Structure formats: C-alpha cells, structure tokens
Amino acid sequence: MTTGIILILIMIGLVAGVFSGMIGIGGAIIIIPALIYFLHLDQHTAQGTSLAIMLPPIGLLAVYNYYKVGALNLQYAFIIASAFLIGGYIGSKFAVNIPVDVLRKVFAIVLISIALRMLLVKNS
C-alpha cells in the first residue's frame, strides 16, 4: 500500500468522522462513494469495507459474508476507522455549536449533492 493510498484513507476517515459527528452521516453517504471514486473499489468491496469499519455495532455477520466472497479490504477499513474516530470527535465539537435549523440544511445539502453525483457521474 502506497503513502498516497494511506493518505486518501485517512482523509476519508476524517471527513466521514467529521460529518458523522456533525450531522450523523458517514458510512453509506461518505465512505462508500469515496472508496468508489477515489480508490476505484467496486460497489461490493466498498460496501464490505464500509461495514468492516463499523463492524462491532453494525455488521459482524454482514462483513463475514463479504469476506467469504473476497469483497473486503481489511487494511483500508482499519485505516479509515482510525481516522473516522478522530474526525467524529472534531465534527461533534462543531455540531453542538451550530443552530439546529442550519445543521438540518447542511445535512440536506450533503445528501442531495452526493446523490446527484452518484446519479449523474459515471465511475471511471
């Protein structure tokens, strides 16, 4: 694994952690698209890797199914999960000081922006 890939993984974890801490999103909304567009993982591997990041509380059995068919990158999951922890702390520190109506609008804009990108931009 190259230094560039490690830096991308850390950035994915930090961004997902910040958004998770701020507006409660991270895995499906940030991590999966980032793994697809920045690291060119296929949809199944991106989903399996995202589940491994949130393994204890969410998907031990689901991750096992992805692992059995080879659709899981444990190294990526570990690095992103570590950065996600830090980003979540940072994001929550911001969020608790943002008015509820502003936070709701930020959440909506993020969801719409990512949905439009996934709908309109073909993966290379």
Per-residue pLDDT tens digits for 17-30: 888 777 767 767 88
Specify the number of domains making up the chain: 1
Q: Which two tokens stand for residue 98?
A: 């943002």
Q: What is the mean pLDDT of residues 79-84?
A: 89
Burial class (CB in 10 A: 0-12, 13-18, 19+), 116: exposed
What per-residue confidence (pLDDT) applies to 44? 83
What percent of the chain lies above the pLDDT cut of 70? 93
Q: What is the DSSP letter of 122?
A: P
Calculate the alpha carbon distances from 106 to 80, 86, 100, 112 in Å.
23, 21, 10, 10
Check residues 78 and 108 and name the one with the higher pLDDT: 78
Rounded (10°) CA dihedral 2, 60, 45, 121: -110
- Alpha helices per DSSP H over 2-73: 3-23, 32-39, 43-53, 60-68
pLDDT at residue 57 tops 60:
no
The parent domain of residue 47 ranges over: 3-120
Record the pTM.
0.64
Cβ atoms of 77 and 53 closer than 8 Å: yes
Average pLDDT on 85-108 reads 84
